[in-house]
Amino acid sequence: MEKINQWLGSFNAIIKKLISGFLLLSVFLNCKNVYALSLISDEETEVFLHQTLRPIFQAANITFYPSQIFIVNDKSLNAFVADGNRMFVNIGTIVTADSQNELTGVLAHETGHIQGGHILRHKIQAQEIQSISLASMLVGGLAGIAAGRADISIAAILGSQSSALNSLLSYQISEERSADEAAINLLKKINQSPMGMLRFLEKIKQNNKTQGIAERDYFRTHPLTDERISFVAKAANESNAPLLGQNEKEFQRIKAKLFAFTEDPKQTFLKYPLSDNSIPARYAHAIAWFKQPDIDKATEAINSLIDEEPNNPYFYELKGQMMLETGNIKDAVKAYKQALSLQPNSSLFKLNLAQAMLENNPNIDELNNIVQMLLQVLVYNPDNSYGWLLLARTYGLQNNLAGSAYASAEFNLLTGDIVTARRQAQRAIDNKPSTTLRLKIDDLMLRIKQIEKKQK
């Protein structure tokens, strides 16, 4: 029993650090001057980006997978593609865009780089990136670390500000013009005006000029010329396509949400004054009050949004987060259950609910339900390190030491701690696992040996 208590105490300490936002998982490339690039996982933003990018990829005859798009927790204006057709979009790009049409233009341009094969010339450098499983570093259901909130989960993988990455992702003027041409054609295929693309380019150029900055992040990697702007302007003036996207309402909401989570509450209330009674503004108000913190006003605001849209899962998710972080665990469980009932396939909602239930002294049946939820998440996303961490804790509460050690080993392998992964895998074997679990442990041991062999 003492061994079990020590085991659970170790996991509880890790969970608490995750919830309080002090633990940031990180992997660094073997390059000079590479800093950490943090990714966020937010269900509402991801669904919106999938809806926006999918038709662009389809128009370009590129197979789309939701796991190919990543949200970068960086306020600077940037977007880029990497090997494997992975698309990275900074929060700053989303928040700065005034409409979905502007963001669509940015994504169409980046898709143009994929169509043009521009990533291939960086293949040698990109092999180092390709060797890291980006999905394996995404952690679901954490308290927001960089953003400071629980519905945004973080993973550090590689550095956007490093000279190494800027060199890797920088394009030539000829490639930029080629990507512009491809973007215009793609926008035409999906019946979207190039005007948003033009406005975004002009906006960034004007902002840089106003601030006395010649080239900011986006244009260090995407060189801009007046000729490029003229080309896009001509296409925009000749187009009769709509200026707004089909999901403009959703765009304004996620823009307000991201702004409120990443800015000081004072800035949020300046951008979204209390006199603004729109849903995006009230969404931002709820988050700003939560961050102050003024939980009474925050709860009142989110409850009013739920009353207005009782079938919106993201409002329940935010309420669950508020309740969890303020110690109202039962209300958090109730809110997360409602969110999951409205979006039953959401892995992030399952992780949020599992985390809340674990904080609520779960009984035997509830522990079994948590295990089933986590296994469902890990079947479809075995690289979800946070899922393995929660599973290890749950198995520990069930006195299943073999299962707990195995799940812990998977977690440590994904976070790059090979030594601990091997030690935990051996501990799982020593605790006499079932035949089925032993097969999983043997597979894990094989993967560990392969990594150790490569490291040598």
Q: What CATH number should be reported for the domain holding residue 421? A: 1.25.40.10
The answer to whether residues 204 and 308 belong to one domain is no
pLDDT reported for residue 208? 62
Say yes or no: 360 and 225 in one domain: no
Same-domain status, 395 and 426: yes
Residue 316 and residue 174 share a domain? no
Of 222, 238, 254, the residue at which a domain comes to its end is 238
Say which amino acid occupies 159: G
Residues 304 and 444 in one domain: yes
Do 441 and 341 fall within a single domain? yes
Residue 203 structural domain: 31-238
Residue 249 lies in a domain: no
- Give the number of other Cβ atoms within 10 Å of residue 237's Cβ: 11
Residues 282, 202, single domain; the answer is no
The answer on 277 and 221 residing in a single domain is no
pLDDT value of position 63: 87
Q: How many CB atoms lie within 10 A of CB 116?
A: 17
User: Across-strand partners of 38?
Assistant: 156
Q: Is residue 396 part of a domain?
A: yes
Q: Is 19 part of any domain?
A: no
Residue ending a domain, among 238, 273, 296, is: 238
Averages of pLDDT over runs of 10 residues in the chain (456 residues) are: 48 42 27 53 92 94 85 85 83 94 94 72 42 34 32 34 42 73 94 93 72 50 68 91 90 96 95 97 97 95 97 97 95 97 94 96 96 95 92 97 97 93 96 95 95 85
| Statement to judge: residues 215 and 350 lie in one domain | no
Query: How far from chain centre, in Å, is Cα 83?
Result: 18
Total Cβ atoms within 10 A of residue 107: 24
In this predicted structure, what is the pLDDT of residue 37? Answer: 64
pLDDT score of 180: 87
SS3 377: helix
| Cα–Cα distance measured from residue 103 to residue 197, given in angstroms and rounded to the nearest whole number | 8
Q: Which segments within 11-161 are labelled E, that is strand?
A: 38-41, 69-72, 79-82, 86-90, 153-156
Q: Which amino acid is at 246?
A: Q
The number of folded domains in the chain is: 2
Q: Are residues 7 and 38 in the same domain?
A: no
Same domain as 328, residue 232: no
CA-only gyration radius of the chain, Å: 23
Dist. CA 263–CA 406, nearest whole Å: 40
- Are residues 91 and 139 both part of a single domain? yes
Query: What does DSSP say about strands 69-72 and 79-82: parallel, antiparallel, or unpaired?
Result: unpaired
Tell me if the bond preceding 293 is cis, omega within 30° of 0: yes
